[in-house]
Amino acid sequence: MRRLFLGAALSLLLFAGFGSAQRVSVLCSPDLAWCEALGPAFKAATGLDLEFIRLGSSEALARLRAEAANPVFDVWFGGTGDPHLAAFNEGLTEFYKPSSWDDLLPSLTKSVGETYIPLYTGALGFVVNEGILAEHNIATPQCWADMTDPALKNLIAMPDPNASGTAYTAIATLVQIMGEDAAFDYLAKLHQNVQQYTRSGAAPGQLAGRGDVAIAIQFMHDGVKFAEEGFPLTVIAPCEGTGFEIGGLSLIKGAPERDAAIKFIEWALSPEAQMVAATVGSYQVQSNSKTPVPAAAPDLDTIKLIDYDFAKYGNPAERDRLVARWTDEVFPQPR
Cβ contact 299:293 at 8 Å:
yes
With H, G, I as helix, E, B as strand and everything else as coil, classify residue 205.
helix
Distance CA 50, CA 67 (A): 20
**What residues are paired with 249 via a beta bridge?**
77, 117
59 phi/psi in degrees, rounded to 5: -60, -40
CB of 324 to other proteins, least distance (A): 8
Contact residues for 50 (Cβ-Cβ < 8 A; gap 6+) = 23, 24, 26, 38, 39, 42, 43, 264
CB of 15 to other proteins, least distance (A): 5
CA-to-CA dists, residue 218 to 129, 159, 184, 223, angstroms:
13, 8, 18, 8
- Helix (H) or strand (E) holding 57, with range, is helix 57-66
CB of 31 to other proteins, least distance (A): 6
Distance CA 265, CA 280 (A): 20
- Helix (H) or strand (E) holding 237, with range, is none
CA angle 86, 116, 161 (to 5 degrees): 40
Cβ contact 61:67 at 8 Å:
no
- Helix (H) or strand (E) holding 201, with range, is none
Contact residues for 267 (Cβ-Cβ < 8 A; gap 6+) = 42, 45, 46, 273
CB of 69 to other proteins, least distance (A): 5
Q: What is the largest CA-CA distance in the chain?
A: 78
CB of 103 to other proteins, least distance (A): 29
CB of 17 to other proteins, least distance (A): 7
CB of 56 to other proteins, least distance (A): 7
Nearest residue (CB) to other proteins, 202 versus 265: 202
Long-range contacts of 176-182 (CB under 8 A, 24+ apart): 176/243, 176/306, 176/307, 176/308, 176/309, 176/313, 177/144, 177/240, 177/241, 177/306, 180/322
Strands (E), 129-212: 156-159, 194-198
CB of 54 to other proteins, least distance (A): 5
CB of 72 to other proteins, least distance (A): 4
